[in-house]
Chains A and B, each alone.
Chain A
Amino acid sequence: MIKTLVCNIPPLDTSRPPVAGAILCAVCHSQGHEVTARDLQWQFNEFLAQRNLMSQQFDAVFYDTALRFTADQQAVVDEFIDQQAGIIAVDNYQYIVISLFSYLAQRFAGSFIQRLREFSSAQIIIGGPGVTAISFATAENQFAESLLSQNLIDCFITGEAEYSLPQYFVAGTGAGINNRNFRQIDDLDSLVSPNYSYYNFDHYRSPTGRREVVIVGSRGCVRSCTFCDVAKTSPRYRYRSGASIAQEIIANYEQHGVREFYFADSLVNGSLRAFNDMCETLAAYQFDEPIAWRGQYIIRNQKTVPQRHFELLARSGCRELFVGIETGSDRVRWDIGKKFTNDDIEYHLQGFEQHGISCLFLFFTGYVTETPEDHQHTLEMFPRWQRYVATGTISAIETLNILSILPGAPLEQQAREQGFHFETNRDGTANSLFWHNPRNAALDFPERLRRHLEMMETAMQYHWPIWNGELSLEIFQRALTEYHSVAANSRPPQKIIALKNLA
């Protein structure tokens, strides 16, 4: 039997077993392989704990590409990589499948794969969003191609591994195999479910201390918000049937005692039909212990949302929803493509409150069309909806993101058409973060930052909980330093040539 190892690369959230790993295990198992899983994030945390080192100090560097490990930290990372490569090599795998969750994993993956190649004769396959995702460093990421050209890997997979990985095992070539022309899978219900039996649930704890797994009910997004580039990696929105999603949740509850579920979908209610079917099935199932689920949710026009929707949400186990409110201005939210109003938000808040569902608001300031009046509307939200904070219906706000114009996002096309200018990086590329809209000239980067600070201060004035507030300010502060450095550059601002992403 073919022996295959599935590895996950740091940095990864350790509150739940990796869903990508569980999917890869299921795919390899379905191909008749003898599969082993190795979560290198968990292994690394254990390695550090044995040396009385704090994983958080390493996480800070993993999550911030502007930072570098100290010499001592680098020595620890190198020792760990040597150790793991040695352990893996002993088992004589034929395939080692490595999952990179984001571009942040590239730093660890680069060193790890190099050592692995020295120690092991297995075919090394890499995949996941981190393989092709854009990094701080490059406009168009060539990480995978670079490893392939150096013969450090045998294959990189883009797109959806459920299709490409078996194709590689059989033919060694095809769509999404060592190329970016991946094929999207239409029928998500036909895919194997993530198999968590390769992971030890005792290694993972959600913030509530219970077992939690990730559920993927859809891929892509039903909306096309102007700032978002999800359509670049998932051009078409596809979703599983509600029954299929509910069955996966029930199976994890029955087989592994999992009671907490986190949806990785862009929007958990992208397809209302599938979503309602899922909620109906979960609400009807006789769980001995209640389950709870969380996920990203889109607010819709209140005329299309009956009151029973909220009751059904609650009965299905919905605990917390993450909602992209983005702004307090109806006009700006419409420009973004969100298609709901403050009245719709109020309607949903009432429904959530009545049924004990909490929601976390996602915000950002300084959309390309935002005027001072629009910004004022955002500030007015804090006193208006303070009572929902007091009832616990609004659990927090998160204002982590600075609006950058992402390559592939609808806003990029708009920026081209409307003649946006960008500050120029030292390498001659346009800086996607420091854009100027000629139709809204007053909204330069310092003004956007001023509005962000004012929004945070207003949130604090009305005692709104702020999620990741310190991290948000760190990001803004670093961007400001970068802005001053870039703006001091003598080159004139340019129209888009190539975007360098900083967000």
Chain B
Amino acid sequence: MTVLLLEFTSTWCNSWPSLEILHNQRQIFSGMVKEQLRLEVALSPSAHNVVELRGIGKQQGANNVWDTRINAAGQIIEDKTLAIQRVELNGIDMGTKWIHSLSAPDFSYGVWYGNSTVSIEFTEPVMNWIIAAKFADDVNADTVKYNSYNSKFNYDVLKKRIQHIRQQINDQDSSL
């Protein structure tokens, strides 16, 4: 079982932003986010997981209503937005860098400025997925051996070489 924790903050304009959250197409939350929301939920066990965050119910000109208010100088004085502040899986904080890597239309650096769905996909074992998601994006197989800051997850190369060494040991054993 995986425990998902989500924290959001929001800003108001005409109304608070709405949010619907689904896990593998099953709704686990639906409602308004009034200033902030902290949601902790134990997800149904599944090898493959898709968490969809559907926001934010912004009226973008429908019925001539815009959920953004601008003053005479062109500055935004009120806006309906929703921001992801924290994502934790099994108590592990995914961190700001990872949140900022999420992408969707009208959504950047963890903030919805319009209506869109942000998807988080992860697999079991979740701890392996977390490590890969947070750290393995630096992988660069071409990294120079003696300055290998980015080659900590060069597993394919390592596995191949291990297989080769095993063969070498076995060949020698069988020749004795």
Contact = CB atoms under 8 A, between A and B. Distances in A.
Interface of A: 15, 56, 59-60, 63, 207, 386-387, 389-392, 396, 446, 449-450, 453, 456-457, 460, 462-471, 473-474, 476-477, 480-481, 484
B162 A462 contact: no
Given A207-B149, A390-B130, A477-B161, A469 B154 contact: yes
A396 B154 CA distance: 12
Given A391-B93, A469-B158, A477 B134 contact: no
Contacts of B172: 446, 484
B152 A465 contact: yes
Contact of B165 (A15, A471, A477): A477
Given A59-B146, A207-B149, A456 B127 contact: no
Given A477-B164, A480-B168, A387 B92 contact: yes
A465 to B, nearest CB: 3
A63 B130 contact: no
Given A391-B92, A473-B162, A477-B168, A462 B128 contact: yes
Given A473-B161, A477-B164, A56 B144 contact: yes
A15 B146 CA distance: 11
A471 B145 contact: yes
Interface string B148-160: 1101111101110
Given A391-B93, A396-B152, A453 B166 contact: yes
Closest 6 CB pairs of A and B: A465-B152, A463-B131, A463-B128, A473-B161, A390-B92, A390-B130
B133 to A, nearest CB: 10
A469 B155 CA distance: 9
Contact of B127 (A387, A450, A468, A471): A387
A63 B136 CA distance: 27
Given A56-B144, A457-B159, A466-B154, 19 more contacts: A56-B145, A60-B145, A60-B146, A207-B149, A387-B90, A387-B127, A390-B130, A390-B131, A390-B134, A446-B169, A446-B173, A453-B162, A453-B165, A460-B159, A465-B152, A466-B158, A469-B158, A480-B165, A480-B169
Contacts of A446: 169, 172-173
Contacts, number: 94
5 contacts: A60-B146, A457-B162, A466-B154, A467-B152, A476-B165
Contacts of A387: 90-92, 127
Q: How large is the interface on B (under 10, 10 to 19, 20 to 34, 35 or more residues)?
A: 35 or more
A456 B162 contact: yes
A275 B157 CA distance: 40
Contacts of A396: 152
Contacts of A457: 159, 162
Nearest to B92: A390
A284 B132 CA distance: 37
B157 to A, nearest CB: 6
Contact of B146 (A56, A392, A460, A477): A56
B135 interface: yes
Nearest to A62: B146
A59 B168 CA distance: 27
B147 interface: yes
B147 A456 contact: no
B134 A63 contact: no
B109 to A, nearest CB: 20
Contacts of A386: 127, 131
A392 B169 contact: no
A15 B149 CA distance: 12
B168 A470 contact: no
A470 B158 contact: yes
Nearest to A383: B127
A486 to B, nearest CB: 12
Given A390-B92, A390-B134, A470 B152 contact: no
Nearest to A465: B152
Contacts of B152: 396, 465-467, 469
Contacts of B168: 477, 480-481
Contacts of B162: 453, 456-457, 473
